[in-house]
Chains A and B, each alone.
Chain A
């Protein structure tokens, strides 16, 4: 299959065609990735321009010493934040995609209205939320009569950040579930129908397994989203704050994720780039583990083809 279309032969031409892509990838992805790892072994200050090789000191100080509680808090927060965002996104988008793909009046209009927030950016979502959930002038408290401190009280702020992150990315997941639902093979569902399966049985025993390639794809993309694209939401909405309750959550802001902490430590007040790079290495490991799962799945192909 792979070689079936290889009709042209040349020793040099394919490399010429590939070279712009390869050069960009090497110069702007692989080299900086490697240099980020190298940087984690230096004590380096962005503004002072000082550099000193200290080996694995930075990595060690993530887990022991005065900086460790803050890092571990952020690591735990990142895991909880990501699990919540991914699980809620997938569950809600699958549920809505199933509803919107039913044969009902106005289904097409529903689909478009559910999908289009895909074109919104995280920063836009955060800006609107900043206004809507403003405790003084926001419409949410005004209409509901609540007086929740959405932006500076730990628990509401954490869940608001999760909610906005989920809201922003629903359209993306719904697109893929809708597309997958539309291209499902008809025969297994019909067979289940004839066998007298109930609606719930049909969904969980037939439709859901058939959707598993899409679910896996979305699991990974949503995880990457929750790690990285949530940055703009956090930066605009909460700046990583507010500081959580003691004794475990009072070292850092409760909405500070690992990516946000890399930014704060590397480019914020302390500009300790080596330490930030060490945190970045942990982030790389997390993404690497997720990618490994993704690859294993791709290799196995959990397809249930009829």
Chain B
């Protein structure tokens, strides 16, 4: 009897700790949800009673503060980057695991090193490259590229001319060392007999990829889709620098403009924008959570 009661008390302690932690992690979101529904004169008080203004606030932020447009932009770049990374990494891992070729180790090392090169670290060089105007004709571009002193040792002369465009966000993020690494680990765990029989049946590596590898990699694909979608959705520094016009801005940076609209901050409308803009990653998160745990968090190598 005594043993049972001490166990219960010990568990009570655990429950109190966890409830406190859950309160701290979840309260800010509950707070944002309630504040998004309140009337203007109540928002600035400590009141936590829900109001009825949510749809009206939503209408204002969506149409007048351009939340709709920011969300569309974020959605567009997140889908392109996540999709692009998955496809590019699948092909890279296919080559690295199922082919023998000379520069294999070197190329793999080259890809893995980029794990240590976060894009944020090179924004100055990247800004020059992405935003500089392209050469007016192919000849001057080639003259520049084949002059090693100018090409390598001087600030960048010609770039892509993608300042203020969504391409300027999408392309720099398109390749993924994480993706190549995860697919490679997964492919290495596939029994050789499968690949052998595919080859003996005369399957080309593309057919092997489509009919065997991809169906077997759904957990890894799901995990990567979640990681990359959230990663790109959360991008802040680079869009803040490369995008100038509000019409092309992503939602993370757009929040600044929603806060700065008007003479004083309309907090209920800002909280409405917050609530709406966390929905897409949350939906992706709940859809792919299982795949994420199985394909990434629980896999022994990262």
Task: Name the CB-closest residue of B to A171.
Answer: B25
Query: Any chain B CB within 8 A of the CB of A64?
Result: no
Decide if A5 touches B192 in the complex (CB within 8 Å): yes
Task: Kindly list chain B residues whose C-beta atoms are within 8 Å of the C-beta of A217.
Answer: 302
**With contacts A14-B99, A122-B236 known, is A131 near B35, CB below 8 A?**
yes
Decide if B25 touches A170 in the complex (CB within 8 Å): yes
Task: Kindly list chain B residues whose C-beta atoms are within 8 Å of the C-beta of A31.
Answer: 125, 129
Instruction: Indicate which residue in A13, A102, A235 contacts B99 across the interface (CB closer than 8 Å).
Output: A13
- The number of residues on chain B lying at the interface, defined by a beta carbon within 8 Å of a beta carbon of chain A, is 102
Task: Kindly list chain B residues whose C-beta atoms are within 8 Å of the C-beta of A27.
Answer: 129
Query: Any chain B CB within 8 A of the CB of A300?
Result: no
Decide if A35 touches B128 in the complex (CB within 8 Å): yes
Q: How far is it, in angstroms, between the C-alpha of A102 and the C-alpha of B175 when the chains are bound?
A: 39
Identify which of A66-74, A76-84, A204-212, A281-289 touches chain B. A281-289
Min distance, Cβ B184 to any Cβ of chain A, angstroms: 10
**With contacts A5-B188, A99-B14, A127-B255 known, is A18 near B91, CB below 8 A?**
yes
Q: How far is it, in angstroms, between the C-alpha of A280 and the C-alpha of B125 when the chains are bound?
A: 10
Decide if A20 touches B234 in the complex (CB within 8 Å): no
Identify which of B16-24, B58-66, B136-144 touches chain A. B16-24
Task: Kindly list chain B residues whose C-beta atoms are within 8 Å of the C-beta of A39.
Answer: 124-125, 128, 155
Between A35, A136, A235, the greatest number of chain B beta carbons within 10 A of the residue's beta carbon is seen for: A35
Task: Kindly list chain B residues whose C-beta atoms are within 8 Å of the C-beta of A20.
Answer: 88, 91-92, 174-175
Query: Any chain A CB within 8 A of the CB of B9?
Result: no
Instruction: Indicate which residue in B22, B124, B240 contacts A276 across the interface (CB closer than 8 Å).
Output: B124
In residues 271-302 of chain A, which contact B (Cβ within 8 Å)?
Answer: 273, 276-277, 280, 283-284, 287-288, 291
Query: Any chain A CB within 8 A of the CB of B123?
Result: yes
Task: Name the CB-closest residue of A to B126.
Answer: A32
**With contacts A119-B230, A142-B46, A170-B25 known, is A35 near B100, CB below 8 A?**
no
Query: Any chain A CB within 8 A of the CB of B75?
Result: no
Decide if A18 touches B96 in the complex (CB within 8 Å): yes
Task: Kindly list chain B residues whose C-beta atoms are within 8 Å of the C-beta of A304.
Answer: none
Task: Kindly list chain A residues whose C-beta atoms are within 8 Å of the C-beta of B88.
Answer: 20-21, 24
Task: Kindly list chain B residues whose C-beta atoms are within 8 Å of the C-beta of A63.
Answer: none
Task: Kindly list chain B residues whose C-beta atoms are within 8 Å of the C-beta of A119.
Answer: 230, 278, 281-282, 284-285
Q: How far is it, in angstroms, between the C-alpha of A114 and the C-alpha of B110 when the chains are bound?
A: 36
In residues 112-126 of chain A, which contact B (Cβ within 8 Å)?
Answer: 113-114, 116-125
Decide if B126 touches A28 in the complex (CB within 8 Å): yes
**With contacts A32-B125, A104-B14, A235-B240 known, is A123 near B91, CB below 8 A?**
no
Q: How far is it, in angstroms, between the C-alpha of A163 and the C-alpha of B128 when the chains are bound?
A: 35
**With contacts A99-B14, A99-B18, A228-B237 known, is A123 near B97, CB below 8 A?**
no
Min distance, Cβ A209 to any Cβ of chain B, angstroms: 16
Query: Any chain B CB within 8 A of the CB of A191?
Result: no
Task: Name the CB-closest residue of A to B285.
Answer: A119
Query: Any chain A CB within 8 A of the CB of B270?
Result: yes
Decide if A124 touches B277 in the complex (CB within 8 Å): yes
Min distance, Cβ A180 to any Cβ of chain B, angstroms: 8
Decide if B252 touches A121 in the complex (CB within 8 Å): yes
Query: Any chain B CB within 8 A of the CB of A42?
Result: yes
Q: How far is it, in angstroms, between the C-alpha of A286 and the C-alpha of B282 when the chains are bound?
A: 33
Q: How far is it, in angstroms, between the C-alpha of A132 and the C-alpha of B30 when the chains are bound?
A: 12
Decide if B14 touches A102 in the complex (CB within 8 Å): yes
In residues 21-44 of chain A, which contact B (Cβ within 8 Å)?
Answer: 21-22, 24-25, 27-39, 42, 44
Instruction: Indicate which residue in A18, A28, A116 contacts B282 across the interface (CB closer than 8 Å).
Output: A116
Decide if B14 touches A17 in the complex (CB within 8 Å): no
Decide if B98 touches A280 in the complex (CB within 8 Å): no
Task: Kindly list chain A residues whose C-beta atoms are within 8 Å of the C-beta of B198.
Answer: 7
Min distance, Cβ A103 to any Cβ of chain B, angstroms: 9
Query: Any chain A CB within 8 A of the CB of B274?
Result: yes
Extra A-B contacts (8), CB below 8 Å, given A33-B125, A175-B293: A13-B99, A17-B92, A36-B123, A142-B45, A182-B298, A228-B118, A276-B124, A280-B123
Q: What are 7 contact pairs spanning A and B, CB under 8 A? A: A9-B99, A21-B111, A116-B25, A119-B230, A124-B255, A171-B25, A273-B124
Chain A to chain B: the 8 pairs with minimum beta-carbon distance, closest first: A35-B125, A32-B125, A24-B175, A36-B125, A14-B95, A232-B236, A142-B46, A17-B95
